[in-house]
């Protein structure tokens, strides 16, 4: 398949006797949002950490555009084109919103060992950063200290920083978590368009968002993918309804 961007093959991760990730093989294809759902403790975040390299895998491979990334660390994987957002916002809190975005643009461009040129006057970096901020709707907050942002705005900034990386694939760990109804709608609108730039592997608890956004859904239970399919297929799969969705979900 030529349209596979990101692929994991037989990934394993044990924490002692706990099988956090158990033989996970899944792929992310061009232009799609692939949602990863599952009950708390199913190993969704562990899997994302393994894919981004923040957590070493026991065995298996992670391939981005057919390049095996399993042996390299998180910094290299980011440079190769994995753009991630965190479940708990992970930003430089003392820096301004714009500085955080510029940091991402700087990571994308490389050449961080520059000691004399003021980075915030680098037109190329700043315009890339501002474009990303505008895309998530944070343009007017560019000069705000990140610590002074609301929870929802920090989630938007997470996405903006991932955007500045111009990644080949996005990995988003609950970008909707803690957003209000309006914020979630805004984020859904944003992600809908974003998948055209790069496909998104999305972890999300908000089922309305998942069914509104996802092209495909994988269900993770006890570290194992028990099903992968279109939202329609997942909705009617009786095993999943029992295990996870609850019977009251309208089919």
Partner 1 sequence: MKRETWINGAALAVLLGVPLWAVMADEPFIITLATRAAIFALAGVGLNLALGTGGLVSLGHAAFFGIGGYAMGILASHAQSYAPIMEAPFLIEGTKSMPVIWLVAMVTSALVALVIGMLSLRTSGVYFIMITLAFGQMIYYFAISWPAYGGEDGLSIYVRNGFPGLNTLVPLQFFGLCFAILCLALVLMNAIHKSAFGLALSAARQNETRVLSVGMKPYHLRLVAFVISGAVTGLAGALFADLNRFVSPTMLSWQMSGEIIIFIIIGGVGRLFGPVIGAMIFILLEHTLGGLSEFWHVYLGALLLGIVLFAKGGVIGALAGREKAHD
- Which residues form the interface with partner 1 (CB under 8 A)? 52, 54, 73-76, 78-79, 84, 86, 90-96, 98-100, 102-104, 106-108, 110-120, 122, 125, 143, 145, 161, 164-165
Closest contact distance (angstroms) between CB of 226 and partner 1 is: 29
Closest contact distance (angstroms) between CB of 83 and partner 1 is: 8
- Separation of alpha carbons 212 and 172, rounded Å: 16
- Separation of alpha carbons 217 and 169, rounded Å: 16
Measured from the CB atom, the residue of 78 and 217 that comes closer to partner 1 is 78
Bridging pattern class, strands 4-15 and 224-229: unpaired
- Separation of alpha carbons 189 and 73, rounded Å: 32
Half-sphere CA count of 106, side-chain side, radius 13 A: 16
Measured from the CB atom, the residue of 162 and 219 that comes closer to partner 1 is 162
Closest contact distance (angstroms) between CB of 5 and partner 1 is: 18
Closest contact distance (angstroms) between CB of 152 and partner 1 is: 19
Closest contact distance (angstroms) between CB of 73 and partner 1 is: 8
Q: What is the sign, positive or negative, of the torsion defined by CA atoms of 171, 195, 152, 110?
A: positive
Q: What is the sign, positive or negative, of the torsion defined by CA atoms of 91, 20, 205, 8?
A: positive
Measured from the CB atom, the residue of 52 and 135 that comes closer to partner 1 is 52
Measured from the CB atom, the residue of 136 and 217 that comes closer to partner 1 is 136
Closest contact distance (angstroms) between CB of 144 and partner 1 is: 9
Measured from the CB atom, the residue of 22 and 146 that comes closer to partner 1 is 146
- The two three-digit tokens of residue 151, written as one number: 């929870």
- Classified as helix, coil or strand, 170 is strand
Alpha helices for 37-96 (secondary structure H):
44-52, 74-80
Q: Which of 232, 202, 197 is nearest to 220 (CA)?
A: 202
Measured from the CB atom, the residue of 1 and 123 that comes closer to partner 1 is 123
Measured from the CB atom, the residue of 170 and 244 that comes closer to partner 1 is 170
Closest contact distance (angstroms) between CB of 63 and partner 1 is: 18
CB atoms within 10 A of CB 166: 16
Cα 78 to Cα 45, 69, 150, 219, 242: the distances in Å are: 17, 10, 26, 26, 37
- The two three-digit tokens of residue 197, written as one number: 């730039």
């Amino acid at each position: 398949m030529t349209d596979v961007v990101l692929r994991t093959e037989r990934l394993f991760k044990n924490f002692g006797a706990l099988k956090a990730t158990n033989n996970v093989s899944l792929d992310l294809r061009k232009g799609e949002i692939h949602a990863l759902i599952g009950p708390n403790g199913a190993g969704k975040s562990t899997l994302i950490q393994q894919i981004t390299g923040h957590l070493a895998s026991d065995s298996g491979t992670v391939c981005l555009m057919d390049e095996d990334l399993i042996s390299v660390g998180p910094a290299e994987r980011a440079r190769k084109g994995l753009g991630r957002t965190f479940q708990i916002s992970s930003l430089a809190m003392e820096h301004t919103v714009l500085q955080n975005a510029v940091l991402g643009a700087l990571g994308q461009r490389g050449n961080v060992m520059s000691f004399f040129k003021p980075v915030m006057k680098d037109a190329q970096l700043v315009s890339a950063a501002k474009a990303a901020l505008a895309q998530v709707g944070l343009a007017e907050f560019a000069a705000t200290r990140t610590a002074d942002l609301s929870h929802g705005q920090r989630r938007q900034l997470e996405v903006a920083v991932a955007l500045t990386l111009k990644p080949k694939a996005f990995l988003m760990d609950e970008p909707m978590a803690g957003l209000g109804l309006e914020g979630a709608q805004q984020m859904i609108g944003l992600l809908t368009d974003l998948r055209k730039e790069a496909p998104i592997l999305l972890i999300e608890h908000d089922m309305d968002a998942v069914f509104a956004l996802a092209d495909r859904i994988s269900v993770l239970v006890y570290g194992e993918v028990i099903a992968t399919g279109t939202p329609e297929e997942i909705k009617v799969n009786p095993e999943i309804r029992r295990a996870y969705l609850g019977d009251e979900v309208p089919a």
